[in-house]
């Protein structure tokens, strides 16, 4: 997906992926990461997800990466926080208290900029990217977080029936990206009620990727 695709989506308010409730799988399965109370979580391709506010309320530090500055302006407004904005090479750092958001292309974000990460929460990030980008994304994610454990949400359906995003990511693909760095555990698989757009049968999966 080109950057222009996402900028246009945010500009036109076509953000059907944005959930108005905290993600139920995050609440249910976050304890499987066995984090301490002050842990620092990374949300790649974070948008303006409500999950950020919930994680901050639990006492965690949150780090995000997002292409759209509009999304992050909306996020800080939603949180009623004023960001300090720092210009870095190729990326802009919005921060306030326990919240750090890097605005720009995640592929420009370095391990030094992101700092220590205790765990990754990937909701609608891996599945937002077309297949050729997913190989680079998964390896980059491991590299900049030193292989921090992950809670990973994926969706599986017949890709020939619909184009992404979200893209179908099968269990075999999750293994291909991550089995070299993690132990993989499928925590749950549930049918998408009513199917994806157009009623296409689909399943959501939640993975725990641990060391």
Ligand X SMILES: C[S@@+](CC[C@H](N)C(=O)[O-])C[C@H]1O[C@@H](n2cnc3c(N)ncnc32)[C@H](O)[C@@H]1O
Q: Which helix (H) or strand (E) holds 104?
A: none
Interatomic CA distance for residues 82 and 163, integer angstroms = 38
Q: Work out whether the CA dihedral 204, 73, 90, 117 comes out positive or negative.
A: negative
- Residues 111-130 binding ligand X (CB under 6 A) are 123-125, 128
> Going by DSSP bridges, is the β-strand pair 91-96/150-157 parallel, antiparallel, or unpaired?
unpaired
Q: Is 123 annotated as a binding residue?
A: yes
Smaller CB separation from ligand X, 9 or 40: 9
Q: Is 66 annotated as a binding residue?
A: yes
Bridge partners for 64 per DSSP: 43, 101
Measured in degrees and rounded to the nearest 5, phi and psi for residue 188 equal -165, 155
Q: Is 185 exposed, middle or buried (0-12, 13-18, 19+ CB in 10 A)?
A: exposed
Q: How far is the CB of 182 from ligand X (least distance, A)?
A: 20
Q: How far is the CB of 83 from ligand X (least distance, A)?
A: 17
Q: How far is the CB of 36 from ligand X (least distance, A)?
A: 24
Q: By rule CB under 6 A, what count of residues binds ligand X?
A: 20
Q: 3-state class of 9 per DSSP?
A: helix
Q: How far is the CB of 17 from ligand X (least distance, A)?
A: 4
Q: Which residue's C-beta sits nearest to ligand X?
A: 47
Q: Does residue 93 bind ligand X (CB under 6 A)?
A: no
Interatomic CA distance for residues 178 and 180, integer angstroms = 5
Q: Is 33 annotated as a binding residue?
A: no
Q: How far is the CB of 188 from ligand X (least distance, A)?
A: 18
- Residues 26-85 binding ligand X (CB under 6 A) are 45-47, 49, 65-68, 71
Q: Does residue 6 bind ligand X (CB under 6 A)?
A: yes
Among 105, 135, 158, 191, the residue binding ligand X under the rule CB under 6 A is 105
DSSP assignment of 39-102 equals -EEEEET-TT-HHHHHHHHTT-EEEEEES-HHHHHHHHHHTT-PPEEEEETTEEEEEETTEEEE
Interface with ligand X by CB under 6 A: which residues? 6, 17-18, 45-47, 49, 65-68, 71, 105-107, 123-125, 128, 165
Write out the binding residues: 10, 45, 66, 123
Write out the binding residues for S-adenosyl-L-methionine: 10, 45, 66, 123
């Amino acid at each position: 997906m080109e950057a222009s695709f996402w900028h246009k989506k945010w500009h036109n308010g076509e953000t059907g992926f944005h959930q108005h409730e905290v993600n139920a799988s995050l609440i249910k399965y976050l304890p499987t990461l066995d984090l301490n109370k002050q842990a620092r979580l990374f949300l790649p391709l974070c948008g303006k997800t409500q999950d950020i506010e919930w994680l901050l309320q639990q006492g965690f530090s949150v780090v995000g990466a997002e292409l759209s500055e509009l999304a992050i302006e909306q996020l800080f407004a939603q949180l009623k926080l004023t960001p300090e904005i720092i210009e870095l090479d190729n990326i802009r750092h919005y921060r306030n208290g326990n919240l750090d958001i890097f605005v720009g292309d995640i592929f420009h974000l370095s391990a030094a900029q992101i700092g220590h990460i205790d765990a990754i929460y990937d909701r609608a990030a891996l599945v937002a990217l077309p297949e050729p980008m997913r190989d680079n994304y998964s390896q980059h994610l491991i590299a900049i977080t030193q292989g921090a454990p992950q809670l990973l949400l994926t969706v599986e359906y017949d890709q020939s029936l619909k184009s992404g995003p979200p893209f179908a990511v099968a269990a075999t693909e999750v293994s291909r990206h991550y089995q070299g760095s993690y132990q993989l555990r499928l925590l749950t698989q549930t049918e998408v009620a009513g199917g994806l757009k157009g009623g296409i049968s689909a399943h959501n999966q939640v993975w725990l990727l641990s060391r």
